[in-house]
Structure formats: C-alpha cells, structure tokens
Chain A
Amino acid sequence: VNAQRQITSFFSKT
C-alpha cells in the first residue's frame, strides 16, 4: 500500500 506523504514533512515553517 502506498501512503501519501505531506509537503510539511519535507519543508519546515519559516
């Protein structure tokens, strides 16, 4: 099963 990751798990808040 492929799970969708979120952008926020790669880039952090500035």
Chain B
Amino acid sequence: MLELRLVQGSLLKKVLDAIKELVKDANFDCSTTGFSLQAMDSSHVALVSLLLRAEGFEHYRCDRNLSMGMNLDNMAKMLKCSGNDDIITIKADDGSDSVTFMFESPTQDKISDFEMKLMDIDSEHLGIPEAEYHAIIRMPSAEFAKICRDLASIGDTVVISVSKEGVKFSTRGDIGAANVVLRQNTTVDKPEEATIIEMNEPVSLTFALRYMNSFTKATPLSNIVTISLSSELPVVVEYKIAEMGYIRFYLAPKIEE
C-alpha cells in the first residue's frame, strides 16, 4: 500500500512540466527514502534524476518498494485537473495496475480522484558516481533560462567555459555568433540573485542547446540553478526543490572527432 500526501500539490505539477518534454515514459520508484525517478531521453544523451524526500510529504506511507511505470503526458493531463492550491495524494495498492491521484481543495469542499493505468517500462538504472567537479556555477535560474533561449536563436550548441575571468556561454550559427560572460557577483539585494563561480580548474565543454532549453522547464521550481562541470563528465544542471529534494539533469558533452 502506498499513500503519499503532498500539501503543496502544485509542486508535483511543476515537476511534471519540468521533465515531460525530455522523457515520455518513466518508472516512479517509491521507497522509505522518498518518491524518485531516474530516466533517460530516447536518445540516451540526457538523464533526469528526481528525488522528493519522504519528510517533505505531510503523510508518507510506503509499505514496500514499488516501481510505477507512468506515461508522463497522461500523468500531466491528470494533474492539470487539480486546482493550484489543492492537496494531492498519490495512492496505489500493492500489485495494482493503476495509481490514483486524489485532489482536495484547501477548504475540503471539493474532492476528486483520478485513476490512471500503469504501464510496464523496461528501464536501465544507471549508477551515478560521486565526482569532483572542475567548476560549479550557482546563478539565478531565470538568467540561465534566458541565456539558453537567447543562444538557441543563434546556434545549436553552447560552449560553456569557466576561467578566472568568469563563465562564458558561446554559440555560433549561420547568422553569426554570440558570447555571454558572467562574472561572480555577490553584491546583490537577495541571495538568490547572486552568481557564484567556484573554480578548481579551468574547463570548457560543448553541449546541445536543445537539451539545455528543455532542462530550463524546471525554472519555476527554484530561483537558483547549479551547473557543475568537469572535462570528461556529463554536466549536471540542478534545481533544488524547496525542503523536498531536487531535479538533476545530466547531459553528455559533444566532443571533437
């Protein structure tokens, strides 16, 4: 038996909006730790890792580890039927081939339940080793989204270079080229407006902008994004989910051949 009650139900809608462009079908894994998901895009170029910790739910009951295969477009359709202030409860019985989403209005005067069929999904689970990163950039998520959007109108790939000058995002396309340089800036009114660049070693990597732009669908989840770079490793683009966990996107670099 599984019963997860999330008071801030809108969080779940934002999570779905963040990943459904990248991944179509995925297994949600439920354990005593929390509600999690790991999935790759169909080309196996990007990977998303989601964790919503058990402590973040008002009520969390998971009698045994359960993996529930869901079509994310269908799940998003169902969650769209909830009100923005609704409490969402996810329920499933052991061995059941369906999951129920229950929506309660804040004043408890409207209660609905939507039952969704589960599916069998063959998915590979990858081990993600702890790594030392050459550079870690912490910046406003809206700024990162704007840079990715702007550069995608010029080119298909972005070169992210970190040096002691700061972090440079560069692209090149048929109509021209663009460079955006950000310097560390901690003299801001609010901590979430700061740009902090931690560099152990200079690093420069090339990535497909299409994927980066897809990751920025997670922007409504957090004011801050953290980008971790190491040569010879996928970049990690992380959005923290307040008091609950995170969404981490991993993207394999492009390499010269």
Contacts and interface: CB of A to CB of B under 8 A. Distances in A.
Interface in B175-231: 206, 208
A2 B256 contact: yes
Interface residues of B, number: 25
Interface string A1-14: 11111111111111
B127 interface: yes
Contact of A5 (B125, B127, B128, B255): B255
A6 B40 CA distance: 10
A5 to B, nearest CB: 4
Nearest to B234: A10
Given A11-B129, A14-B125, A5 B253 contact: yes
A9 to B, nearest CB: 7
A7 B255 contact: no
Nearest to B157: A2
Interface stretch (B42-50, B61-69, B70-78, B143-151): B42-50
A5 B126 CA distance: 16
Contacts of A3: 254-257
Interface of A: 1-14
Interface of B: 40, 43-47, 124-129, 157, 206, 208, 233-234, 250-257
The 4 closest A-B CB pairs, nearest first, are: A2-B254, A11-B126, A5-B252, A14-B127
